[in-house]
Copies of this chain bind each other. A is one copy, B any other.
């Protein structure tokens, strides 16, 4: 597959949304869609989709539109969803447990192998079928499991310290739910993805306010 050298951050942000909508279309049994119809579903223009996808090759066909399942599979592959990546959850508080229980890791191409918690004496304990180990044994288990990604859901006070242990242990990416900017000693060694719930609430707040001001 073609892959342009520099893909803009904006394109990277749009690809998962494209995938999500194509996945819905696929499960609704839709096999083919015109570029205009797809643009309507995605809330953008047909030319933007064409331009975004052109970074990765040729998709769709003049006069035919897009083959839904093929485009879905292509985008999944672009996103690395077919690489059988492994991950672990670090922090088994309410949010950690909610993710283990409800987040569809496998539908997103990830195999969840273990959880870690600060509370001692958890060896062998299971949470929703997931083995949970004490954080003090993190390095030993990571050497064995070799996960690509750590989902970081610890208390803020230990977040940066835990992140640095994960980087030293060879983790490639940290999915950071702790709502703090992590202080990483060797930032070039890891890719960070921060989840900012507040950005989402504030854009809702904006839209409610804009609606009120219209009246």
Residues of A within 8 A of B (CB): 3, 7, 9, 12-13, 15-17, 19-20, 24, 43, 78-81, 83, 85, 93-95, 97-99, 101-104, 107-110, 148-149, 172-173, 175, 179, 181, 191, 193, 195-211, 213
Contacts and interface: CB of A to CB of B under 8 A. Distances in A.
7 contacts: A19-B202, A79-B209, A80-B205, A94-B94, A94-B102, A103-B197, A109-B202
Nearest to A94: B98
A200 B172 contact: no
A205 B85 contact: yes
Contact of A207 (B103, B191, B195, B210): B191
Please classify the interface of chain A as helix (H, G, I), strand (E, B), loop, or mixed, using the class held by over half of its residues.
Answer: helix
Contacts of A207: 12, 173, 191, 193
As for how many copies of this chain the complex holds, the number is: 2
Given A3-B213, A181-B24, A200-B195, A206 B15 contact: yes
B20 A206 contact: no
A103 B202 CA distance: 13
Contact of A175 (B78, B81, B201): B201
A98 B212 CA distance: 30
Given A109-B202, A193-B201, A195-B200, 13 more contacts: A3-B213, A16-B200, A79-B206, A80-B209, A81-B202, A99-B197, A107-B198, A148-B208, A149-B201, A172-B211, A175-B200, A175-B204, A193-B204
A198 B15 contact: no
A95 B102 contact: yes
Contact of A20 (B102, B198, B208): B198
Contacts of A94: 94-95, 97-98, 101-102
A169 to B, nearest CB: 16
B95 A7 contact: no
Given A79-B209, A83-B209, A20 B196 contact: yes
Nearest to A10: B10
